[in-house]
Amino acid sequence: MENLNLAESFAEFKELKNIDRATMIGVIEDVFRNLLAKQYGTADNFDIIVNDAKGDFEIWRNRTVVENVTNKATEISLADAQAIDSSYEAGEEVSEPIRLSSFGRRAILAVRQNLAGKIMEIEKANIFKYYTERIGEIVVGEVYQTWKKETLLLDDDGNELILPKAEQIPSDFFKKGDTAKAVILRVEMKNSNPVIILSRTAPEFLERMFEQEVPEIFEGLITIKKIVRIPGERAKVAVESYDDRIDPVGACVGVKGSRIHGIVRELHNENIDVVNYTSNLQLFVQRSLAPAKITSIKIDEEKKQINVFLKPSEVSLAIGKGGMNIKLASQLAGYDIDVYRETAEEEEDVNLDEFADEIDSWVIDELKRIGCDTAKSVLNMPFNDLLQRADLEEETLKEVISILKSEFEEEQKQ
């Protein structure tokens, strides 16, 4: 029949993944039944036969032969029926083809636009469903464009993926054509369009990387209990083995760091500490603060507070560069950890409380909070570490150090 060939529209359907034949035919029938309903008042007595192989279809109108027509949409007079075929009798059904050309050019164009719109809706719904089901998985995309606040990637099917600046490692730098790896963080619908948000800073990204590099994790022999990160700087990963014969830390690191090396490189040399998990909180904290060696620990479970005592030479190791080690250890344990110096009683050291007439009490309390309860414990800690850990202004710290130093200088003069 002379109708509109919809090969191009069918081709659009076939390019879509996860579109089955039944869905395709259902959409096409729906579009044309709407057109028939507008034209004839009803579409219930029409058959639409879709030939997806050829890219066309047929429409047949079915009407009942009657002596007197009361409903033109569903009935045909005996005279008109016999004009088609003289053998028709009252009560029989007449089927005749409907040509698309009879609807007019505007109606046909409207059908094509409607069909294209339906295809687009299905495509968006499929993309949304596909990526929603993959939240937490790693995806690899090609960088298409980089802006100040986000980077646009394209997957293998040309779908757009968004990597916000806030979800990038600080040292990330992408240019067009680069390949980027990230985890699917969330999927949103904005203005009826699916928006896929990626992340390289989420703990899940590091977890998926370990699953890819460590077969024992992928197979379930080793479990990642918790991950805490300062993206691009440092991370701590607590792991546990369900097989006593497997060393979880050794398996994750690999021989000479062979397994963890690829992860570190992908994260721009992020320092990764793999910690053997244990339900013994005291032992777990000791492992979390490595390489510092702890002398003793006091745990207050009600206040979620842990006081750790170390030798002066171990304090800087426990705190770490910029306070990162103790911050991540606190997050890993789920407790606030404070570090205290455990020193032998030395006559020349002075308790901070003795400076109450020169230093405000709230300043002394803040210094105690970070483990500095004597004059020497403050003077022996690097200034940058003091500034990083204590909630004090730089000028205030300088004034405190000046007061403490002058105390010892006077003692030496005497």
pLDDT value at 28 more than 80: no
On whether both 13 and 126 belong to a single domain, the answer is: yes
User: For residue 266, is it within any domain?
Assistant: no
Nearest-angstrom CA–CA distance, 397 and 370: 13
What's the CA dihedral at 125, 131, 132, 136 to 10 degrees?
180
Nearest-angstrom CA–CA distance, 324 and 318: 9
On whether both 92 and 124 belong to a single domain, the answer is: yes
Q: What is the DSSP-derived secondary structure letter of residue 224?
A: E
Nearest-angstrom CA–CA distance, 26 and 34: 12
Nearest-angstrom CA–CA distance, 194 and 310: 53
| Whole-number pLDDT of residue 113 | 78
pLDDT (average), residues 247-265: 92
Put simply, whether the predicted model's pTM sits higher than 0.85 gets the answer no
User: Measuring CA to CA, which residue among 169, 171, 196, 193 is closest to residue 185?
Assistant: 196
pLDDT (average), residues 18-30: 72
On whether both 96 and 143 belong to a single domain, the answer is: no
Chain segment 299-356, per-residue pLDDT in tens:
988 889 999 998 888 888 899 888 899 999 999 999 999 988 875 544 467 888 888 8
pLDDT value at 104 more than 80: no
On whether both 78 and 174 belong to a single domain, the answer is: no
On whether both 125 and 145 belong to a single domain, the answer is: no
List the Cα angle 82/86/89 in 5-degree steps: 70
Q: Are the C-beta atoms of residues 359 and 403 closer than 8 Å to each other?
A: yes
Burial (CB count <10 Å: 0-12, 13-18, 19+), residue 326: buried
User: For residue 275, is it within any domain?
Assistant: no
Peptide bond into 291 cis (omega under 30): yes
The count of domains in the chain is 3
pLDDT (average), residues 199-205: 96
User: For residue 261, is it within any domain?
Assistant: no
pLDDT value at 7 more than 50: no
Q: Which of 95-109, 219-233, 389-403 has the lowest mean pLDDT?
A: 95-109
Nearest-angstrom CA–CA distance, 145 and 154: 9
On whether both 126 and 155 belong to a single domain, the answer is: no
> Which of 68, 101, 130 is a domain's end point?
130
> Which of 130, 161, 183 is a domain's end point?
130
| Whole-number pLDDT of residue 266 | 93
pLDDT value at 219 more than 80: yes
| Whole-number pLDDT of residue 147 | 93
User: For residue 256, is it within any domain?
Assistant: no
Which of 82-96, 101-115, 174-188, 340-354 is modeled with the greatest confidence?
A: 174-188
User: For residue 270, is it within any domain?
Assistant: no
Q: Which two tokens stand for residue 341?
A: 């110096």
> Which of 110, 130, 150 is a domain's end point?
130
CA 246 to chain centre: 31
CATH number of 108's domain? 3.30.1480.10
End-to-end CA distance of the chain: 116
| Ranges assigned E (strand) in 191-253 | 193-199, 222-230, 234-241
User: For residue 84, is it within any domain?
Assistant: yes
Residue type, 65: V
User: For residue 19, is it within any domain?
Assistant: yes
| Whole-number pLDDT of residue 32 | 82
CATH number of 194's domain? 2.40.50.140
| Whole-number pLDDT of residue 348 | 64
On whether both 46 and 105 belong to a single domain, the answer is: yes
On whether both 143 and 51 belong to a single domain, the answer is: no
| Whole-number pLDDT of residue 343 | 59
| Whole-number pLDDT of residue 347 | 45
Chain segment 110-127, per-residue pLDDT in tens:
777 777 777 788 888 889
On whether both 91 and 174 belong to a single domain, the answer is: no
Residue type, 296: S
What's the CA dihedral at 67, 68, 73, 75 to 10 degrees?
-10
| Whole-number pLDDT of residue 165 | 95
Chain segment 308-322, per-residue pLDDT in tens:
998 888 888 899 888
Nearest-angstrom CA–CA distance, 408 and 334: 39
User: For residue 309, is it within any domain?
Assistant: no
Percent of the chain predicted with pLDDT > 70? 90
* Domain housing 95: 7-130
On whether both 45 and 99 belong to a single domain, the answer is: yes
Give the number of other CB atoms < 10 A from CB of residue 238: 22
pLDDT value at 290 more than 60: yes
On whether both 186 and 94 belong to a single domain, the answer is: no
Q: Which two tokens stand for residue 94?
A: 């007449």
On whether both 84 and 197 belong to a single domain, the answer is: no
pLDDT value at 1 more than 60: no
Label residue 132 by pLDDT band (50, 70, 90): very high
